[in-house]
Amino acid sequence: MSRIDVHALAASALDALHRGDVSKARESFQQVVDQGEPNADSLLALADACRRLGDAAAAMTAVDQALSLEPRNLRALMLKADFLAALGDDRAASSFYQFAVQAAPPVDQLSPDLRRDIERAMQMRNRYAQKFEQFLLDRLQGANTSKGPTSARFRQSLDIMLGKKSIYVQQPQAFYFPELPQIQFYDRSVFPWLDQVEAATGAIRGELTQLLADGPGFKPYVEADPRRPRKEQSGMTNNPDWSALYLWKNGQAVPENIARCPITASVVAKVPFSDVSNRSPSVLFSQLRPGARIPPHSGLVNTRLICHLPLIVPPGCGFRVGNDTRTPVEGKAWVFDDTMEHEAWNNSKETRIILLFEVWRPELSDDERGLVRAMFDAIDAYSGQKPVWSI
């Protein structure tokens, strides 16, 4: 049969399908497939005709042939998923719905019918995921009666496996100390001194209020350095929307600011500062102006942790470390690993200010802390100058 005859036969098959003569359409489409060079469209039309006639096996065969030609054909993927769903193979059906969603271009590039298909694929994928999750939770109920960190970590592992959370790991920009735990926010019980810091919130906020009344003292948190290439951080370099006023900066006291904040200085002096020459500790008031957002980023070294004490927090502020998003509360401190991706935002019409400082990771021994200090001292001795550093 010539190619022209094949095209004519395909047109005849489509006409029969439109007239409702499904049997005739199936016969004609089968001839197109058998005698011509089958394409995905003709195979899918054959599959549709077979499905309407109740011949699921033949329909599945045609769909599989179409997918062998075009593995990312959305209509073929949806038909395959629907067939598997009808057979009760939830796991296989879910995988095809999920792949259809992943293979689809942006919604505005889809025809209306395909847009509806992809929306349905999302719904089916979510339905199967919820069904699977509930099955797991039912089976696991009572397997662990602990309500502490172990069960919380296990629940996080389930969320990652189910695609509800992503895997975030330490990605320090300057120095990585291996074999330290990947913890986003630490349990406060690890840091008994947090209670004393929180108890001083009112006094610390009073000193901050006086600083603000005395006039400008905050400078952009990210400042360009003429000795280094400028690395733009999503518009934050030299941007006063995210600014800081330091009591200690890169291991050096700022006497004039400490003198104005004696209570704050005495409170934080009791915490286990990460002390490394020319680098830490840093203690500062961090200001985020109305509508500002600190873009996702990671810190320099994973040998220290960062503590925040929220002092002025209007509604609409948030903070995320890895998968964990929290709302800051005035007077409630937290400790987190800043070498894991994190970001902050202030969606209010008022300024947000926190007290920020850095402490040693509790997992490091005294010897290891000493080695970290010695290593950075050696680096500075080699270069002969102070490092370009920021918290």
User: 334 near 359, Cβ under 8 Å?
Assistant: no
In the block, which residue shows the tokens 């006409």?
A: 15
Q: State the Cα torsion 117-119-120-123 to the nearest 10°.
A: 160
Phi, psi (rounded to 5 degrees) for 128 = -65, -40
> What domain range is 278 assigned to?
188-383
Q: Are 278 and 389 in contact (CB under 8 A)?
A: yes
Residue 139 located in a structural domain: no
Mean pLDDT check: name the lowest of 27-41, 108-122, 180-194: 27-41
Q: Which of 134-138, 244-248, 302-306 has the lowest mean pLDDT?
A: 134-138
128 vs 177, residue with greater confidence:
177
Could you report the per-residue pLDDT of 312-335, keeping only the tens digit for each? 999 999 999 999 999 999 999 999
What is the distance between the alpha carbons of residues 7 and 15, in angstroms, rounded to a whole number? 12
Overall average pLDDT of the 186-208 stretch: 97
In a domain, 253, yes or no: yes
pTM exceeds 0.95: no
What percentage of the chain carries pLDDT values higher than 70? 84
Establish if 175 belongs to a structural domain.
no
Q: What is the average pLDDT score of the chain?
A: 86
pLDDT at 2: 43
Arithmetic mean of pLDDT, 64-89: 90
CB 59 within 8 A of CB 98: no
The answer to whether the peptide bond before residue 255 is cis (omega within 30 degrees of 0) is no
Rounded distance between C-alpha atoms, residue 262 and residue 196, angstroms: 15
Query: What is d(CA 119, CA 116) in angstroms, rounded to the nearest whole number?
Result: 5
| Residue pair 69/39 in contact by the 8 Å Cβ criterion | yes
Q: What is the pLDDT of residues 222-256, one digit of tens each?
A: 776 666 555 555 566 778 889 999 999 999 999 99
What is the average pLDDT across 125-145?
A: 84
pLDDT at 11 (0 to 100): 52
Q: Does a structural domain hold residue 156?
A: no
Residue 142 falls within a domain, yes or no? no
Domain boundary among 95, 113, 133: 133
124 and 272 housed in the same domain: no
Judge whether 147 lies within some domain.
no
Are residue 230 and residue 374 in the same domain, yes or no?
yes
